[in-house]
Amino acid sequence: MTNQMSKKLLDQIGGQIGGTLAGSRRGRVHALMPLGAADPEESGLELLDLGRTLWRGKWWIALAVAVATAWGWAWATKLATPLYTAQASVVLEPRQSTVVELEGVMSGLTGDQMTVNTEAEVLTSRRMMGQVVDALDLTRNPAFNPWAGATDDAGTAPSAQVQRDTTMRKVAQVFAVTNVRASYVFNVTAVTEDPVLSTDLANTLARVYVADQLQVKFDATQAATEWLTERVAGLKSELEAAETAVQVFVAGTELISPEALDGLSRQVKDTRARIASLTDARDAAGATLAGLDAALAKGDAAAIARVANDTALDRLIASGAGPDEIRARAETIRRRIEGDRARTEAQIGPIETSLAGLEASFEGQSADLVQLDQMKREAEASRAIYEYFLARLKETAVQQGIQQADARVLSEAAVPLWPSSPNRRRILATTMLFGLLAGAGYVLLREMLNTGFRTAEQLERHSGHSVFGQIPRIKGKKRRQILDYLVEKPTSAAAEAVRNLRTSLLLSNVDRPPKVILSTSAMPGEGKTTVAVALAQNFAGLGQRVLLMEGDIRRRVFDEYFRLEQNAGLLAVLAGEKSFESAVQRIDHLGIDVLVGGRTTTNAADLFSSDRFATLIAGLRKRYDIVIIDMPPVLLVPDTRIVARLTDAVLFSVKWDHTSRAQVTEAIRQFEIAGTDITGLVLTQIDPIGMRKYGYAGKYGAYGGYQSKYYTS
């Protein structure tokens, strides 16, 4: 009989399965993927999703742009101080005209990048700022000197130097010097609150810079002239002293010419050669005498003839003369050789004396000549240095009147007619852009920080389970008014949403439609009890025998939905205090039976784990077509996971834009640990106004502008 009623029920709801079945199939696809995995078809839509998110927050973005633009307009027109910018131009002159071909004391600028950078720093140096301050007497201007014009009766004002330094620092802050790219041109910009003052500052800095360059060159040339004058005077004195020393030396020394000194040198060489020749002759005669004496002592005629080397003696020996004749001739030869030797010895002494005199004279003359040459060279060197410095002195003196600056003023600043700051267009554009970015950032940040679910698609993608129903927020301040609304408005959007939930639940298992259905949620206040009551009322409308059981015995909220005659219920049946027939209560206007929880001191989890409860559920399957059990939140107590094992389907309610992703994930994990699974999810308490505000109404027509054509709420 039960199977026949189930088939009849399926026939009655067959026309409602189109859209729900499609959603169920989509949910199954997500259920096949890991928890939290992204759909591959959605990976290419990130930019589109980003655009949709920004479009949903377009009014926030528009508000941010409007506020930022209004603030920018107020700042540009009311709050900001107008500033005027004046600009003068200075150009460097790396190549200058030459009036005379004279080498300058200071060379011109080279024009390389380092020189350009250096001159840019010179333009903003303290020296330039000091000259500008002095030229315009800015120490009397209160805009730059806070002590200007103030009386100093108490003596609290700083010294004049401190005031001048303070003025220079503030003046430097109004200047900006930029080099025009790939040129020798500098733009000198001054920004103040006074257009005339800005013009005077820019022009004055340009002028004092050019004048300072000329003054630096003039000062360098004057210093060089003074130094050269002193140096030339000293060099002149040194030259005169050197020439006088040469004259005195020449007057006090007997000098010969270099040619005569060369002749004296040759005479010394000849005398030395003659002494050497005489010495050799003397030594040779002495050696002959020694050899002849040795031969005579031996009486050897042949040896005597060989030593004597005399022709007459050789003929005498050849004629066969006697030893006496030979000796007599040898003695004669010996006396002659000895006489020659004595004469030679006598000649050597005078010649050596003469050589000593010649050498002394040569050395003295050579030293005097070398000293004279040295003195003349020193005098010539002093003359050359003196003449060079004298020429440079005259050149430098001539250059004092023809110095040129290395820069000139290219264009002077004109008095600005309009303030350069604040730039209203730029400020408005900037603030509008800032407002746009701030608004978009706020929208994206709000979207990032949102941990709830606003669409069934989001919930399915995150959980991996199908969403069986999307129930809008039902009108009514009290829970009983919610039931009255469903009864009185059977064609309302809420009633139709419950019917869709019922259809999805029955189609979740076509072969064995669920009979025992459990309704739960992650945390209290997420609409699980309302879903259970509304679903029971909807099943009863099909002629089904429906029992609504209060399994949340810790909280007990059925009293707020129904006008009950007794409080004894489930716990009294399990304890054997009452029979089921006496404990169950009929709700006539809904057409359902209700079994409340009751009160007990026994642990609820122990009761639901008992065999009596399992037996009760088995008996209820035979007595009723549909049994709906409202259980407590799964994250708070273990009761739900215990009872879920005895049911055919588990409906998990998720409050729209409230239940967090972490809570849903943890609840699903708790069911998985218990070895059970969630049959389907229910997105509850959907706010149609919120759906339209977030831009989802067009995608989910039930909460958009089309509901009035189909629903009567």
Instruction: Report the C-alpha gap between 348 and 291 in whole angstroms.
Output: 24
In the prediction, which pLDDT does 293 show? Answer: 80
In this prediction, residue 67 has a pLDDT band, given cuts at 50, 70 and 90, of very high
In the prediction, which pLDDT does 713 show? Answer: 61
Place of tokens 């067009």: 698
In this prediction, residue 669 has a pLDDT band, given cuts at 50, 70 and 90, of very high
In the prediction, which pLDDT does 87 show? Answer: 95
- Reported as a single tens digit per residue, the pLDDT across 470-485 is 999 887 778 888 878 8
- Reported as a single tens digit per residue, the pLDDT across 376-421 is 888 889 889 988 988 888 887 776 656 677 889 999 999 999 988 8
Across the chain, mean pLDDT equals: 82
Identify the bridge partners of residue 654 per DSSP, sorted by sequence position. 683
- Strands, E, within 545-632: which ranges? 546-550, 585-587, 592-595, 626-630
**What average pLDDT does range 45-57 have in this prediction?**
78
686 φ, ψ to 5°?
Answer: -70, 130
- Reported as a single tens digit per residue, the pLDDT across 576-599 is 889 999 999 999 888 999 999 877
In the prediction, which pLDDT does 601 show? Answer: 65
In the prediction, which pLDDT does 387 show? Answer: 87
Report whether pLDDT(255) > 80. no
Instruction: Report the C-alpha gap between 560 and 479 in whole angstroms.
Output: 6
Instruction: Report the C-alpha gap between 96 and 110 in whole angstroms.
Output: 11
Q: Which residues contact 556 (CB under 8 A, 6 or more apart)?
A: 550, 596, 597, 599
In the prediction, which pLDDT does 30 show? Answer: 37
Out of 271-285, 502-516, 675-689, least confident range: 271-285
Q: Are strands 585-587 and 626-630 parallel, antiparallel or unpaired?
A: unpaired
Nearest to residue 639, comparing CAs of 525, 530, 547, 518? 518
Out of 83-92, 258-267, 325-334, least confident range: 258-267
Out of 309-323, 536-550, 610-624, 649-663, least confident range: 309-323
More reliable by pLDDT, 196 or 111: 196
Q: Quick one: tokens of 695?
A: 């831009």
Name the most confidently modeled range: 338-342, 372-376, 554-558, 661-665. Answer: 661-665
In the prediction, which pLDDT does 710 show? Answer: 60
Q: Which residues contact 136 (CB under 8 A, 6 or more apart)?
A: 200, 201, 204
In this prediction, residue 15 has a pLDDT band, given cuts at 50, 70 and 90, of very low
Q: What is the DSSP string of 332-379?
A: HHHHHHHHHHHHHHHHHHHHHHHHHHHHHHHHHHHHHHHHHHHHHHHH
Report whether pLDDT(313) > 80. no
In the prediction, which pLDDT does 37 show? Answer: 44
Instruction: Report the C-alpha gap between 265 and 259 in whole angstroms.
Output: 10
- Reported as a single tens digit per residue, the pLDDT across 272-294 is 888 888 888 888 888 888 887 88
- Reported as a single tens digit per residue, the pLDDT across 77-122 is 888 889 999 999 999 887 554 444 445 554 456 667 888 888 889 9
- Reported as a single tens digit per residue, the pLDDT across 149-169 is 776 555 678 888 999 999 999
Instruction: Report the C-alpha gap between 468 and 505 in whole angstroms.
Output: 7
Instruction: Report the C-alpha gap between 600 and 604 in whole angstroms.
Output: 8
In this prediction, residue 27 has a pLDDT band, given cuts at 50, 70 and 90, of very low
Q: What does the radius of gyration of the chain's CA atoms come to, in whole angstroms? A: 65
In the prediction, which pLDDT does 287 show? Answer: 85
User: Could you tell me what percent of the chain has a pLDDT over 70?
Assistant: 86
**What average pLDDT does range 450-479 have in this prediction?**
88
In the prediction, which pLDDT does 249 show? Answer: 80
In the prediction, which pLDDT does 670 show? Answer: 94
Instruction: Report the C-alpha gap between 365 and 358 in whole angstroms.
Output: 11
More reliable by pLDDT, 667 or 308: 667
In the prediction, which pLDDT does 362 show? Answer: 72
CA distances from 56 to 305, 318, 382, 557, 621 (A): 151, 158, 97, 38, 48
Nearest to residue 687, comparing CAs of 445, 493, 465? 493
Report whether pLDDT(230) > 70. yes
In this prediction, residue 633 has a pLDDT band, given cuts at 50, 70 and 90, of very high
